[in-house]
Structure 1
Amino acid sequence: MDDQTRLELEAAAFRRLRQHLMEDRPDVQNIDLMTLAGFCRNCLSRWYQEAANARGLDMDKDTAREIFYGMPYEDWRAQTQTEASPDQQAAFDKAFRENVGPRD
């Protein structure tokens, strides 16, 4: 497989993952994704931002989230996310430290 084909297939897989998380399964909470998988939608938007920055594009966290979510993050959060229980928050904090690092 040539590099261009590989790149196109990887991009298509990313778009399909985004569609699955944003359109097919918006009911799955970010906190549960992080706890179970070690990443969530915010991680994907951060990786998008990091890739843009690595290529010399000036992109901040809010811009990357708006691109990924298709709307301002706070709007999407208000529409789809529920309040986390204390148990969910504790599990999230542990998963975040293990997979991302200390919280700012």
Structure 2
Amino acid sequence: MSCSDDQIPANDALDSLDDAVAAAAFRRLVRLLQHRSDAANIDLMGLAGFCRNCLGDWIAEAGDLEKEAGRAIVHGMPTAEWKALHHTAATAEQLKRMEESMAKNP
């Protein structure tokens, strides 16, 4: 889930950011997430309401790409390969926390 245009304040400072600066910050975030495979997607969802897959989906949407292509960019490899290396089954507690967190998203 993402913010719609009607939920963004008219004077949002992000809109005044140079695209190159925004892109550099985004790449740094993605590289950190690639490095921190110990930060599980389910935990990111539970804490922040988004995860690597969300970022990949946003890339795909913005760039008119297939979801898998966007997710592979964020994972640094095909999603199936990333899951095989890093994915663990979510606990009931993690799922509950994710649902509560997602409910806070606009």
TM-score bucket of the superposed structures, by smaller chain: 0.7 to 0.9
Compute the displacement of 1:9 (Å): 0.8
Question: Does the CA contact (< 8 Å) of 1:27 and 1:81 recur in 2?
Answer: no
Identity %: 44
The runs of 4+ residues in structure 1 deviating greater than 3 Å are none
| Distance in 2 between residues matched to 1:88 and 1:26, nearest whole Å | 17
Structure 1-normalised TM-score? 0.76
Structure 1 unaligned runs (5+)?
54-58
Compute the displacement of 1:6 (Å): 1.0
| Distance in 2 between residues matched to 1:42 and 1:98, nearest whole Å | 18
Is it true that 1:27 corresponds to 2:38 in the alignment?
yes
Provide the residue aligned with 1:72 in structure 2.
Answer: 78
Provide the residue aligned with 1:56 in structure 2.
Answer: none
The verdict on how the C-alpha distance between 1:97 and 1:75 changes in structure 2, with shifts beyond 3 A counting, is: farther
Compute the displacement of 1:93 (Å): 2.9
Higher relative contact order (CA 8 A, sep 6+): 2
Relative to its length, the structure with more helix (as a share) is 1
Letter in 1 for 2:74: F
SS in structure 1 opposite 2:89? coil
| Distance in 1 between residues matched to 2:40 and 2:79, nearest whole Å | 14
**What is the Cα-based RMSD across aligned positions, in Å?**
2.0
Count of residues in Structure 1 that have an aligned counterpart in Structure 2: 91
Question: Does the CA contact (< 8 Å) of 2:46 and 2:95 recur in 1?
Answer: no
Letter in 2 for 1:40: C
Letter in 2 for 1:22: Q
